[in-house]
Structure 1
Amino acid sequence: MTQHGVGPYVAATLLVTAGDNPERLRKESSFAALCGVSPLEASSAKKQRHRLNRGGSREANNALWTVALIRMRADAITIQYTEKRTCDSLTVKEIQRCLKRYIARELFPIICQDLTNSRHVLT
């Protein structure tokens, strides 16, 4: 909950999604796929694009979207990133997809550490 935009509901949702077995999440890309934020190729002809993975937990995906939305409105670094990507002619949805993937990458080690620490406390 120390990360910008992560409140109790978002933290609880992501911890529930990660589950009680952090060993099954070997790397952050598996956590991203579990949350439904891993990019899928959606290119057509000369246009190279990615789209959001529709698999995974919709609740976790919504939690990451909430964090991305909060950061897009209040975090200076994210606002700067959004402006840069807008100049690169990306849509708001594409920018949010990129942000959700970045946030999943950022939160993955924190979630695994929290799950590991809580497991040691319980045993």
Structure 2
Amino acid sequence: MPIKFKTLPRKNPQDMVAPEKFYAAAVSNGETDMEALAEMIAYQSTLTDTDCYAVLRSLEHNIINELKQGRIVKLGSLGNFQVSISSEGKETPEEVSAANVTKCRIIFRPGKKLRHLMGNLSYLKAS
């Protein structure tokens, strides 16, 4: 099934007086929550949807705890999660402290199967 997209105008942030250009932007086709995933997994296995949901919640909890510890969480061919930080620049290494951290984020690096998926998608302009 193709990924739908719509057309959006955007200004050039480096030249605000330049005319807008139009770009494709993905349109979501709904959502799938953990309950639905648990139900799908249960249908494909011998586990109940309650058991699958409990495992997914446990996975979520453990990923969060491992990221809090500064660990990279590797989920096989799905990909890796890692915490990244940004800080203010200082003149010397001694001046850098935790107080200089300005932002943190979670980086997701897709694994081989997801990278392969990205190369094989098709697209359809939404009407």
TM range (shorter): under 0.3
Q: Choose between structure 1 and 2: higher strand proportion.
A: 2
What TM-score, normalized by structure 1, do the two folds share? Answer: 0.24
What TM-score, normalized by structure 2, do the two folds share? Answer: 0.24
Task: Look at both structures and tell me which one has the larger radius of gyration over its CA atoms.
Answer: 2
